[in-house]
Structure 1
């Protein structure tokens, strides 16, 4: 499989080259030259398929020939091991719980898959520096997925004061090959610094940079697996008839997860609608309504992982639909909610259904409540992080003391190790060069 840039000003690269490079030189995003369509026999077998085998079948054409079939099977058997329960919340609405990995967030799978790919590709004697921007869960998943991986150094940029305390502890207390850097700015500023680093010729000459944000194809593509698994479990639980339709509501910040679901649909997965559910950073819902795509500075909300004013992955969604707004609107519905609506949903669902939502899942749940009566389908919303990752907010909303799962307790009372820089590319460049000399 070859990968081209959505800006079409860079040469096509292999999977290996695209993973190591992270971003094309023309500042586009890598996209597969073709999207393979899966046969009917795959969907017939899907409800009873084990998760690692499902992942292998879905990903094999995207990674060939750089990753041999037996190697990909081994990676899938190692990575796709976390439970993904499909929980009935109320009539016609299910939650797909993607937070049962080591950092209690859906990004654990993608980060681990990418780390195993990079580990296989890393050139001996020349370390790969993985540079990543995070608004919360990406940092913790990448840090824990790459921790201790030989020949790979990780630098995590995060907005100072812009992530939850638990999220921060998950990537600032590890040490070893993980370095956290607080940026005096927003997540968008962190993301912009990462993009500048990848387009800087001096850094490209001195070091081997890669990214572990969902802009990297090895982080992005594994997320497709969730959607195939959700559909299969829904069929298995409900014994649904072939004609029954499904809507999936996706909490959306950088839009990598939604883009992964849409590429799964392109492969033949019969999901009728997707909902791009977000907070006050509603660039995409506004675009779907007005036809004008206008990124703006992000604003802080209770659902901090979605505080993104310029979504990195949205060009991939446009690419899948040939930049045709009407075609996107037929499949993707937009929704946004403010903090007060989120708090009310968390309270109501806990009281009515004895189910505790996190702020991001709450927005996706609200989106289903709005759209399902008109769409006439069953709905699944993605619960992308454990509510205890946002303990302070959840405790205030519910007036309680939510228990921390064992995975989160492990990060408590550890000393933080974090550098700090201004929103200044020269400062980041100097930091990266200094680290490269230390690791040379």
Structure 2
């Protein structure tokens, strides 16, 4: 059966490859599958498969206009020696939970899990749809997407990639990873603003019909590597299926036993992928949404009101410093009974007033979710305590999730086996991690801290960090938010 995709705001249905190429629908909505397919292989079979084999079994159900050969080729090119763990996404048991390590790729963050395959899905999609324009990947990042996207698209023929990031809103390692990125087709811009400003500016360019005409006349078309692209979301479903299958394989659970999943959440794509996995038939019970002090999602799950009208807090978990969770629109559409008009009116309210409120019936459909948040002190204490008790070191984002998991157990007394999505290597946030473990590290330099972290954790410094130690800065462009479009045009040599 061919699965088509529709916009959360209405409009014509498209194929998977067309949805991947477009990124954002013409009406400003996000593409969602016309139905969520059920897993068609048993967990027993999946439990004896490699990550690549599980990826094929999941993704074939969503990307139905790809041939088996095309899809397997994309998977094989993505999940190879770029990852420093043979399992691709290994699990570590510590202090009562299973940490699903999603940071073993080229840029040591979970974004690699999807962005390693997106360039291959996109270039395959371009061939399938006879695209002759150069594809310009336009992306806003809160820290990790930018580097992972550039690493994936660097020097990929027929593509260019432009990444906007908040100049003072990412960690030193995150920034150094981006500004040292090689590739003639890569361009990095630090904006004077926060991530929401960057994301809003990018969305504005995507929705600008006049700009689209100018690009077309110059042989270009925009696409997205942000989590709004369905080509990002589908690969993320894979690792939840793989995690469950591995728990069965390792006899940690019996097939059919329900588990909980905890996800540190900013733009809502990663936890949405777990929700899709649950809707495919995977035995997931509660989806635990962990926020940092930018707790717009916690407030939403608590009250049914989404309100971005609040102070933006810069935290030690910058990839979650987000007040507009774009992927939440996909969930809103689902709980609105797939009513595009109802969803559109809520999104227009968000755009005009910065807030909206869902109906009691919609709230009733959110019972799978639990939301809570961790402040900065709680996050640091969790890193300290986990290391002190077990020797296991986690990053700040994962620590937000671990903190919220403890709150969940305290609130509910639910002790089901639980998988925590560990979304970044602690080496990416070494200063925050090491000073949480012991204040004596506060005066060390960034790379001194990285070496000390390696020493206390027994984990070698990842290649992604070692490479930037002496790498030259190749990108130093900065701009104001209202200069983003002109900056894009200038780099593309468009008058």
TM-score range, shorter chain: over 0.9
Q: What SS does the corresponding residue of 1:269 show, helix, strand or coil?
A: coil
Residue among 435, 440, 448 paired with 1:396: 435
Give the alignment's TM-score, normalised by structure 1. 0.94
Contact 2:261 2:420 in 1 (8 A): yes
Distance 1:238 1:385 in 2: 27
State the Cα distance separating 1:319 from its structure 2 match.
2.7
Give the alignment's TM-score, normalised by structure 2. 0.84
Q: What SS does the corresponding residue of 1:335 show, helix, strand or coil?
A: strand
Give ranges in structure 2 of 5+ residues lacking alignment.
Answer: 338-360, 442-451, 455-460
1:436 matched to 2:492 = yes
Q: What corresponds to 2:329 in structure 1? A: 315
Contact 1:296 1:310 in 2 (8 A): no
Q: What SS does the corresponding residue of 1:238 show, helix, strand or coil?
A: coil
1:230 matched to 2:243 = yes
Distance 1:389 1:165 in 2: 8
Distance 1:290 1:142 in 2: 35
Distance 1:261 1:15 in 2: 20
Distance 1:68 1:133 in 2: 31
Alignment of 1:28-427 (within 5 A): 28-39=29-40, 41-65=41-65, 67-81=66-80, 82=83, 83-91=88-96, 93-122=97-126, 125-175=132-182, 176-205=184-213, 206=215, 207-242=220-255, 244-296=257-309, 298-322=312-336, 324-372=361-409, 374-399=413-438, 400=441, 401-403=452-454, 404-416=461-473, 417-424=475-482, 427=483
State the Cα distance separating 1:334 from its structure 2 match.
0.1
Give ranges in structure 1 of 5+ residues lacking alignment.
Answer: none
State the Cα distance separating 1:389 from its structure 2 match.
0.2
Distance 1:320 1:351 in 2: 43
Contact 1:171 1:178 in 2 (8 A): no
Q: What SS does the corresponding residue of 1:415 show, helix, strand or coil?
A: coil
State the Cα distance separating 1:355 from its structure 2 match.
0.8
Q: What SS does the corresponding residue of 2:133 show, helix, strand or coil?
A: coil
Deviations 1:391-439 (A, max 9, x none): 1212222235313322211122222213111011xx222222223337x
State the Cα distance separating 1:243 from its structure 2 match.
5.5
Contact 1:124 1:151 in 2 (8 A): no
State the Cα distance separating 1:327 from its structure 2 match.
3.9
> After alignment, is 163-172 or 147-156 more displaced?
163-172
Contact 2:7 2:13 in 1 (8 A): yes
With over 3 angstroms needed to count, the CA separation of the structure-2 counterparts of 1:239 and 1:396, relative to structure 1, is: closer
Distance 1:318 1:182 in 2: 31
Distance 1:240 1:16 in 2: 36
Deviations 1:3-32 (A, max 9, x none): 111111x32222222112111122211111
Q: What SS does the corresponding residue of 1:38 show, helix, strand or coil?
A: coil
Query: Superposition RMSD on alpha carbons, in Å?
Result: 1.8
Q: What SS does the corresponding residue of 1:95 show, helix, strand or coil?
A: strand
Contact 2:70 2:124 in 1 (8 A): no
> After alignment, is 223-232 or 396-405 more displaced?
396-405
> After alignment, is 409-418 or 142-151 more displaced?
409-418
State the Cα distance separating 1:231 from its structure 2 match.
0.6
Deviations 1:284-326 (A, max 9, x none): 1111111112123532111110000010100112233336533
In the comparison of the two structures, how many residue pairs are matched?
433
Contact 2:102 2:113 in 1 (8 A): no
